[in-house]
Structure 1
Amino acid sequence: MDPAEPKLDPTDQHPPAKSTVIGIYGIPGAGKSYLLKQLRERLGTQTFSFYEGSEAINTITPGGLSAFKEMSGRDKRYWRGQAIEYIAKGGSGGTAIVTGHFMLSDHASQQPASVMTTRDLKTYTHILYLDTPADVVYRRREDDAERDRPRIPIAQLGEWSYHEKGELRKLCLKHNIMFMVMPDSLPRIVLLLQDFQRHDEYHNQKVADECLVEAVSAGKAYPEHVLLFDADKTMAPVDTGLEFWKHYDGATKSWDTLVELFDSPLVYSYSGFKQATLLYEQATDDDRYDELCQRVASATKLYPEITSFFRRVVRCDHIRIVVVTCGLRLVWEKVLAREGLADAVKVIGGGRISDGYVVTPRVKGDLVERLKTDYHGQVWAFGDSSLDIEMLSKAHHAIVVVGDGYSRSRNMDAALQKAIEKGLQARQVLLPGTAPLRLNTTVLPVTRLDDPVLIETLVAVKFKLIHATGKSATKLLQTPMRNAAVQGPSLRKAHHQVGWYLAFEYLADLLGVEEYRIAHVQGQMTIGHRLANEERMLIIGLMRGGLSMALGVNNVFGHASLLLVSKPEEVHLDHLQGKTIVLLVDSVVNNGKTVAEFFTRVRGLKGDVRIVVVAGVVQAQAVGRDGPLPAIAQDGGLTVVALRLSINRYTGTRGTDTGNRLFNTMDLP
């Protein structure tokens, strides 16, 4: 290619795989080269590469830097573009740190002019600006004996730097480049660069997922319901981000910068929220940030309805509440701590590089998907703005919090309408109750956080475990079952007794009894009791091990139907017609797989039937928080009634298999 007429190849506009390229910018004399040397010493060259922009130009330009200086402006732009591509490709997918110039002083006019190229804007992923005070720059330039620097007054240097920062910020917003005025602490700069090196959208979601798992796993019981709450204008009628910047500078100038950011092409993307985090980092150190968050939190009052709702549901071990906010995590943690809810309500949110992630609308939606995949519980989403639409749309239950007409999101109606047309089914909660409706009650019905049906839906436990482990009766009943010398008819009798005991002692209380009239032995009529709706019960004995226990249960509930099956597909719809309760009876539940298959079969045939598993022994892992039975219970509920729990994961074979012992078939092929 003839450098006299540089033409850009459309296929070679930027590296095929965009590496992380971090520019260190600042006016000439700001100290970029010295900083680059410090960073090389601190970070090392194993995962970082370091470049002086002028050295890269010297390397790739025919004739070196001296020839470059004699070129026309057009040719200089071409070789500057080639230099930044050389740097990006030289990083081999790693992280390159390069000193660069946005403007250089024209020797003729003594006025600074932009030298940034289109390829710079396509290549850089981050730009850090070294904002050295103008008087310091002036002294350095005056004392620089190695370079011929034109004398520029301090005031003009200050104007130059101010103009560069403004123009760079605008260009970076337009071209999806992270921009930040550099902190004056080398350790903070190092932490920033390390974050830039490892952080991308995939890593961001991974860290957010880990925070979600930690929050949901904190409780004792299996999470049957996970409630995800947005924070700003959902839990309180304020935007804590706006309040932060008011406390920061007493006005909204910095907030206007944030608004401009989200009005840029970055909008509410991963890059947009990362850039917002850099604005907070640029404005405050950790101590000042904590102080401002405390001020904001002290002035932020939760809606009374939200506080009451939280206090009601956090008492339930099977419910988790997680705040997922695009705003400031620390503010909401402090608000919840003041209300005494910090231990029960966890917050996922950002605001600082040290948080390790940012929350975007997409992150909110992906967290819902993670919950649905890994925990199988019911996911509830509560939000107020278009940033919550993805979360609301993916959740099992969506609640739109509607604030007063003055403070609520202006674009939410249109976003809601579009989502509803795509299938979103949601309800709205008015906070306060006098707030005007969103859309209408046909497409967005109104509910209340204290609605009895809503509360009952949440507090009702889907999975319930009842067992008699440790009771004296259990010790007596389990002895023949565990005794190797007992088998055949004697063992079947022992299993029959266990079924009889569990029916009398536990199932009667669980399922309830009803009164009916009977003839008293003395001749008059009196009141007797029987299992409620006994004739509408189906006892399914899982062959062979469950036969004797099923007969024992049936001996107590003589009006119930009895079905003996070996495979789930042997259960048919006609077996379930008119039935409201199904007892799945087996002697031993090991990993829970067989019971889960029968549960799925029955639930698929008749979704509204109540299912209870009755067993002599249940392995603790099968009913633990991460076990299969609590997981399947989310589909319509499940109760397990067992004589005892066992931590022994041993599965019997031949002589130790329960079925063989029951029927003396240990020696049969």
Structure 2
Amino acid sequence: MATAPTISVGDGNSSRDMHPSIATAGPKPTVIGLYGISGSGKSFLLKHLQQELSPTEFALFEGSDKIASLIPGGLEAFHKLDEKCKSDLRGQAIEAIRKESCDTGRVAIVTGHFMFWGQEDATGQPVYTSNDLATFTHVIYLNIPIDIISQRRLNDGLKDRTAMSQEHLRRWQEAEVSKMRGVCREHHILFSVVSNPEALFPRVLDMILHFRQPITAKSNLARVRAKLDGILALPDRDNLETVLVMDGDKTLATEDTGALFWEMIAQTRPSLAAKSPLQELFGGPLGYSDTAFHQATLLYEEATDNEQFETACDTVASSVVMHPEIISLLRIVAEQRHVGALVVTCGLGRVWEKVLQRYGLSKTVGVIGGGRISDGFVVTAAVKAAIVSQLRNDTRRYVWAFGDSPLDLPMLKGADQAIVVVGDKRTRSSSMDEALYKAIHVENFRARQVLLPSQSPPRLNEEKLPLVRLDDEKFVESIVCHRRPVKILHATDKAAAKLLTSPTRDASVAGPALRDAHARYDMPHVQGHRITGHRLRGEQQTTIAMLMRGGEPMAFGVNEVFPKARFIYAASAGDIKRHHVDGQCTILLVDSVVNSGKTLMQFIEHVRGLHANIRIVVMAGVVQAEVVVETHPLAKLMGRHGACLVALRLSENKFTGTKGTDTGNRLFNTTYLI
């Protein structure tokens, strides 16, 4: 922004140096800086942009002209000031531009200097200010070839330019790019480098038009949702009941396609060989923030034009080998009209489109991923979770999520079924074990793991993260099975049910008599004796979970009819352990009364987390009718997990017993304790 040396690199980073209105301002207006060493063509480019951009939407400024307008005598007077006064004027200039942009709603485009470096000086002198760092939202750096810059400086008859060698100009430019990249990341300023002089104007124009509308997390997600809606609207996808949502890199294959991309680029650019630009970006001050993912897109734009990007993606895709187990599963899914699959990647969506095309899966597996400005969005961990949420809650699909890293955890947590893909210990995420442990122990996260390749050592242990094989018939069946509507069996209006439930509704009946009413019903046989009914299929593989304490008498009655079933007490969902359901086909959750359904929801979620395929049956004496309506959270949850409900009676009466009328107190004669 400035025109002469003032401050060192560390001087401008404190908010206390900022203009008060900047330090306390709300959302930034969009202010784009055009930077480059002297002779890069910033002023020439600005004049062309003025002819192309609408003055109602954009305000364009020469930084030096704005400074000159603030002091009588212009730039000549400015150069005579001491360094403190110069710095103050620079701050006032960028603040005036920011305010004008904010007041008018126009995007500001400003030419500026980051540093000056004389031929005889050992180092360059930064000339940016803290106000610059607080104001700019984007910086476009003109990284023009040095021979062109040198020739321009020699031919420039309008400005007094000191003679500089090409070697010195190169050092100046390299220092600026390196330092500006770091400073911009520290201050969440998106930094773009444009190097091709032949495509300079259209490239910069495209970027400015892209930058003019600030991309918030909300607007980014809206574009992702539109992409998802478009995929779901494709032919043969209108009847989907189940969707597999899969991460790409190190999930579908061992390879990290982003790393492969930059390794390929480094073959022609030795400066990139030492460290991947993505590792440097995500390991820096931006972390895995939304800004970091937008910056990653700009790195891809910086490295390749559209044609080069396509060629690079072709090369990378040709070297990716998908796991055979994943291929087989996706091909089985492709044969099911009611099951779909979706790759959602934080990396290069175009690469995964090409990989799936190689394996003949591109017509049945959708891809949501970024990598280019033209994609219109980036995929973050939060975006992955939002996609799963939209599929589950908005479109009411049953979702299986597959992922390998902490970035996938929000998506895995939000899915109906979570599968952690575990790869080679040398290359898999080193932070995933700790993240999984915390999620399991603190957040009660339930997931399973698949080893790809199969010789990979598992994460944590099988108790915390059970193993599963993608080629296991039962596992595959649990994915491709139809998701039926919630089965609700009740006998509300049947005479037998009225007779059975009459004692349970009689306030004078309590204690043993009430427990017996919940427990047993003898049937008269035609030959004159009494019987208790038929045997249950898979009785020995059935677990009866009595929801304490109201469910105990009814659970005892069920256990008498099914004596070979396991019987457990459960005061809370956590009381049901993995060994209670291992090897079992069915679990019966027995309670006397279901009111809001909140407790049952906790039990159903917990059981499904322990065992993906076990049949869940809820048994109760009385169930509030509203909880079985398909829009109720309990009904939705039961539908997702394939649970069914058996009740003697559905009640329209929303009365919830308390104290003396509470069923639990009546069952055990504890009304005196209230």
Tell me what 1:346 maps to: 366
Tell me what 1:140 maps to: 152
Please report how far the alpha carbon of residue 388 of structure 1 lies from its aligned counterpart in structure 2 after TM superposition: 0.8
Contact 1:383–1:401 (Cα < 8 Å) also in 2: yes
Please report how far the alpha carbon of residue 25 of structure 1 lies from its aligned counterpart in structure 2 after TM superposition: 0.4
Stretch deviating more after TM superposition (439-448 or 85-94): 85-94
**61, 64, 68: which one aligns with 1:54:** 64
Tell me what 1:34 maps to: 44
**220, 225, 230: which one aligns with 2:247:** 230
Contact 1:104–1:112 (Cα < 8 Å) also in 2: yes
Q: What SS does the corresponding residue of 1:608 show, helix, strand or coil?
A: strand
Please report how far the alpha carbon of residue 377 of structure 1 lies from its aligned counterpart in structure 2 after TM superposition: 2.1
Alpha-carbon distance between aligned partners in 2 of 1:414 and 1:452, rounded to the nearest angstrom: 31
Alpha-carbon distance between aligned partners in 2 of 1:213 and 1:130, rounded to the nearest angstrom: 38
Contact 1:463–1:630 (Cα < 8 Å) also in 2: no
Alpha-carbon distance between aligned partners in 2 of 1:66 and 1:108, rounded to the nearest angstrom: 24
Tell me what 1:201 maps to: 217
Paired residue type of 1:96: A
Tell me what 1:454 maps to: 475
Alignment of 1:245-284 (within 5 A): 245-250=262-267, 253=273, 256-284=276-304
How many residue pairs get aligned? The number is 506
Alpha-carbon distance between aligned partners in 2 of 1:634 and 1:410, rounded to the nearest angstrom: 33
Alpha-carbon distance between aligned partners in 2 of 1:448 and 1:196, rounded to the nearest angstrom: 46
Alpha-carbon distance between aligned partners in 1 of 2:289 and 2:18, rounded to the nearest angstrom: 30
Paired residue type of 2:157: A
Alpha-carbon distance between aligned partners in 1 of 2:397 and 2:292, rounded to the nearest angstrom: 32
Alpha-carbon distance between aligned partners in 2 of 1:99 and 1:446, rounded to the nearest angstrom: 58
Alpha-carbon distance between aligned partners in 2 of 1:256 and 1:459, rounded to the nearest angstrom: 40
Label 1:224 to 1:94 Cα distance change in 2 as closer, same or farther (>3 A).
Answer: farther
Paired residue type of 1:366: A
Tell me what 1:89 maps to: 99
Identity %: 42
Contact 2:416–2:640 (Cα < 8 Å) also in 1: no
Contact 2:416–2:641 (Cα < 8 Å) also in 1: no
Please report how far the alpha carbon of residue 224 of structure 1 lies from its aligned counterpart in structure 2 after TM superposition: 1.9
**325, 344, 363: which one aligns with 2:383:** 363
Alignment of 1:381-392 (within 5 A): 381-392=401-412
Alpha-carbon distance between aligned partners in 2 of 1:135 and 1:247, rounded to the nearest angstrom: 27
Q: What SS does the corresponding residue of 2:69 show, helix, strand or coil?
A: helix
Please report how far the alpha carbon of residue 114 of structure 1 lies from its aligned counterpart in structure 2 after TM superposition: 1.1
Please report how far the alpha carbon of residue 203 of structure 1 lies from its aligned counterpart in structure 2 after TM superposition: 1.9
Please report how far the alpha carbon of residue 46 of structure 1 lies from its aligned counterpart in structure 2 after TM superposition: 2.5
Paired residue type of 1:440: N
**155, 161, 171: which one aligns with 2:167:** 155
Correspondence 1:608 to 2:617: yes
Contact 1:223–1:375 (Cα < 8 Å) also in 2: no
**107, 113, 117: which one aligns with 1:101:** 113
Please report how far the alpha carbon of residue 60 of structure 1 lies from its aligned counterpart in structure 2 after TM superposition: 3.1
Alpha-carbon distance between aligned partners in 1 of 2:126 and 2:452, rounded to the nearest angstrom: 52
Paired residue type of 1:201: A
Q: What are the superposed Cα offsets for residues 277-318 of structure 1, whole Å, 9 maximum, x if unpaired?
A: 111111111111111111111111100010011111222222
Query: What's the C-alpha RMSD, in Å, of the aligned pairs?
Result: 3.9
Contact 1:134–1:158 (Cα < 8 Å) also in 2: yes
Please report how far the alpha carbon of residue 67 of structure 1 lies from its aligned counterpart in structure 2 after TM superposition: 2.6
Q: What are the superposed Cα offsets for residues 453-506 of structure 1, whole Å, 9 maximum, x if unpaired?
A: 3222221212489xxxxxxxxxxxxxxxxxxxxxxxxxxxxxxxxxxxxxxxxx
Stretch deviating more after TM superposition (456-465 or 183-192): 456-465
Q: What SS does the corresponding residue of 2:37 show, helix, strand or coil?
A: coil
Correspondence 1:411 to 2:435: no
Q: What SS does the corresponding residue of 1:39 show, helix, strand or coil?
A: helix
Please report how far the alpha carbon of residue 451 of structure 1 lies from its aligned counterpart in structure 2 after TM superposition: 2.5
Alpha-carbon distance between aligned partners in 1 of 2:83 and 2:208, rounded to the nearest angstrom: 32
Stretch deviating more after TM superposition (177-186 or 12-21): 12-21
Q: What SS does the corresponding residue of 1:91 show, helix, strand or coil?
A: helix
Alpha-carbon distance between aligned partners in 1 of 2:195 and 2:241, rounded to the nearest angstrom: 46
Unmatched 5+ residue regions in structure 1?
466-531, 537-573, 579-599, 611-622, 624-628, 639-669
Label 1:237 to 1:227 Cα distance change in 2 as closer, same or farther (>3 A).
Answer: same
Stretch deviating more after TM superposition (201-210 or 352-361): 201-210
Q: What are the superposed Cα offsets for residues 394-424 of structure 1, whole Å, 9 maximum, x if unpaired?
A: 2221110000112211111111112222321
Q: What SS does the corresponding residue of 2:343 show, helix, strand or coil?
A: strand
Alignment of 1:622-641 (within 5 A): 633-634=639-640, 636=642
Q: What SS does the corresponding residue of 1:404 show, helix, strand or coil?
A: coil
Please report how far the alpha carbon of residue 109 of structure 1 lies from its aligned counterpart in structure 2 after TM superposition: 5.4
**405, 410, 421: which one aligns with 1:401:** 421
Unmatched 5+ residue regions in structure 2?
1-5, 7-11, 487-532, 538-553, 559-595, 605-615, 620-629, 645-674
**337, 340, 344: which one aligns with 1:324:** 344
Paired residue type of 1:444: L
Stretch deviating more after TM superposition (179-188 or 228-237): 179-188
Tell me what 1:490 maps to: none
Alpha-carbon distance between aligned partners in 1 of 2:455 and 2:227, rounded to the nearest angstrom: 36
Tell me what 1:191 maps to: 206
Contact 1:102–1:116 (Cα < 8 Å) also in 2: yes
Q: What are the superposed Cα offsets for residues 160-190 of structure 1, whole Å, 9 maximum, x if unpaired?
A: 1111111111111222111121143122222
**119, 123, 126: which one aligns with 2:131:** 119
Please report how far the alpha carbon of residue 325 of structure 1 lies from its aligned counterpart in structure 2 after TM superposition: 0.5
Alpha-carbon distance between aligned partners in 2 of 1:268 and 1:239, rounded to the nearest angstrom: 17
**162, 182, 189: which one aligns with 1:177:** 189
Paired residue type of 1:434: Q
